[in-house]
Amino acid sequence: MTSQNSGNRKSRLPEAPATRPAESLKQDILRHVLYSLGRDTERPDRQTVFRALALSLRDRLVEKWIASQRDIYSRSSKRVYYLSLEFLPGPFLRENLIALGLENEAREALTDMGFGLDDVADEEYEPGLGNGGLGRLASCYLDSMATLRLPAYGYGIHYAYGIFYQLIKEGRQVERADNWLRGGTHWEFERSHYVHPVRFYGQVREWVDEQGRLRHSLENATTVMAMACDMFIPGHKNDYVLNMRLWAAKTSREFEFSFFNTGDYIGAVEEKIRDENISMVLYPNDEAPEGKELRLKQQFFLVSATIQDIVRRFRKKGIAWDQLPRKNVIHLNETHPAVAIPELMRILVDEELLTWEEAWYICVRTFAYTNHTVLPEALEVWPEDLFRRLLPRHLQIIHEINRRFLHDVRRQFPNDPNILGRVSLVHEGESRWVRMSHLAIVGSFSVNGVSAHHSEILKESVFHDFYKIFPERFNNKTNGITPRRWLRQCNPTLAWLITEHIGPEWLTDLAQLKKLEPYVNSEGFHRAWMEVRLRNKHKLAEYIRDKNGITVMPESLFDVHVKRFHEYKRQLLNVLHVIALYNRIRSSPGSVTVPRTYIFGGKAAPGYYMAKHIIRLINSVAYTINTDPRVGDLLKVVFLQNYCVTLAERIIPATDLSEQISTAGMEASGTGNMKFALNGAITIGTHDGANIEIMEHVGNENLFLFGLLSHEVNEMRSQGYNPRLFYERDSELREVLDMIAGGFFSPSEPHLFRDVVESLLNHGDRYMVLADFRSYVYRQQDAANAFMDQAAWARMSMLNTSRMGFFSSDRAVDEYAKDIWGVSGV
Ligand code: OAK
**For the domain that residue 246 is a member of, what is the CATH number?**
3.40.50.2000
* Within-domain flag for 241: yes
Q: Are residues 351 and 401 in the same domain?
A: yes
Q: Are residues 267 and 285 in the same domain?
A: yes
For ligand 1, the distance from its centroid to the CA atom of residue 668, given in whole angstroms, is 7
Note the pLDDT of residue 9: 40
Rg of the chain over all Cα atoms, to the nearest angstrom: 28
CA–CA gap between residue 300 and residue 346 (Å, rounded): 13
Q: Are residues 406 and 509 in the same domain?
A: no
Residues 644, 786 contacting (CB under 8 angstroms):
no
Judge whether 370 counts as a catalytic residue.
no
Question: Residue of the nearest CA to atom 4 in ligand 1?
Answer: 287
Q: Report the residue among 88, 129, 134 best suited for mutation to probe ligand 1: largest number of ligand atoms under 8 A from its CB.
A: 134
In terms of C-beta density within 10 A (0-12 exposed, 13-18 middle, 19 or more buried), how is residue 583 classed? Answer: middle
CA–CA gap between residue 468 and residue 648 (Å, rounded): 41
Identify each DSSP E strand in 213-265 by its residue range: 214-219, 222-234, 241-251
CA–CA gap between residue 74 and residue 53 (Å, rounded): 32
Closest CA to 773 of 573, 639, 578, 584: 573
* Within-domain flag for 408: yes
Q: Are residues 525 and 659 in the same domain?
A: yes
- Chain-centroid distance of CA 796 in Å reads 28
For ligand 1, the distance from its centroid to the CA atom of residue 443, given in whole angstroms, is 21
Judge whether 250 counts as a catalytic residue.
no
> Which one of 675, 687, 697, 779 is the catalytic residue?
675
* Residue 6 structural domain: 1-75+99-123
Q: Report the residue among 140, 287, 568 best suited for mutation to probe ligand 1: largest number of ligand atoms under 8 A from its CB.
A: 287
For ligand 1, the distance from its centroid to the CA atom of residue 687, given in whole angstroms, is 17
Atom of ligand 1 nearest to the CA of 334: 4
CA–CA gap between residue 62 and residue 242 (Å, rounded): 10
Note the pLDDT of residue 270: 81
Q: Are residues 556 and 626 in the same domain?
A: yes
Judge whether 272 counts as a catalytic residue.
no
* Within-domain flag for 820: no
> Which one of 438, 533, 563, 697 is the catalytic residue?
563
Look up the pTM and report it: 0.96
> Which one of 335, 671, 683, 686 is the catalytic residue?
671
Judge whether 468 counts as a catalytic residue.
no
Judge whether 26 counts as a catalytic residue.
no
The DSSP secondary structure of 287-343, one letter per residue, reads SS----HHHHHHHHHHHHHHHHHHHHHHHHHT--GGGHHHHEEEEEESSTTTTHHHH
Note the pLDDT of residue 468: 98
Q: Are residues 722 and 792 in the same domain?
A: yes
For ligand 1, the distance from its centroid to the CA atom of residue 334, given in whole angstroms, is 9
Atom of ligand 1 nearest to the CA of 132: 8
Question: End of a domain among 477, 511, 531?
Answer: 477
Question: Residue of the nearest CA to atom 17 in ligand 1?
Answer: 670
Helix (H, G, I), strand (E, B) or coil at 773: helix
* Within-domain flag for 822: no
Closest CA to 723 of 755, 756, 761: 761
* Within-domain flag for 823: no
Closest CA to 366 of 341, 343, 348, 347: 341
Question: Residue of the nearest CA to atom 3 in ligand 1?
Answer: 287
> Which one of 453, 564, 596, 613 is the catalytic residue?
564
Q: Are residues 555 and 672 in the same domain?
A: yes
Judge whether 675 counts as a catalytic residue.
yes
- Domains: count for the chain: 3
Q: Are residues 612 and 570 in the same domain?
A: yes
* Within-domain flag for 745: yes
> Which one of 32, 39, 79, 372 is the catalytic residue?
372
* Within-domain flag for 659: yes
* Within-domain flag for 826: no
Q: What is the pLDDT of residues 477-530, one digit of tens each?
A: 999 999 999 999 999 999 999 999 999 999 999 999 999 999 999 999 999 999
Residues of the chain with pLDDT under 50: 1-11
Q: Are residues 83 and 104 in the same domain?
A: no
For ligand 1, the distance from its centroid to the CA atom of residue 689, given in whole angstroms, is 11
Residues 410, 420 contacting (CB under 8 angstroms):
yes
> Which one of 51, 186, 488, 569 is the catalytic residue?
569
Q: Are residues 600 and 539 in the same domain?
A: yes
Note the pLDDT of residue 526: 95
Question: Residue of the nearest CA to atom 7 in ligand 1?
Answer: 134
Q: Are residues 203 and 303 in the same domain?
A: yes
CA distances from 543 to 243, 357, 536, 552 (A): 35, 61, 11, 10
Question: End of a domain among 477, 508, 536?
Answer: 477
Q: Are residues 432 and 487 in the same domain?
A: no
Q: Which residues line ligand 1 (CB under 6 A)?
A: 132-134, 137, 286-287, 334, 372-373, 378, 450, 479, 667-671, 689
Atom of ligand 1 nearest to the CA of 479: 14
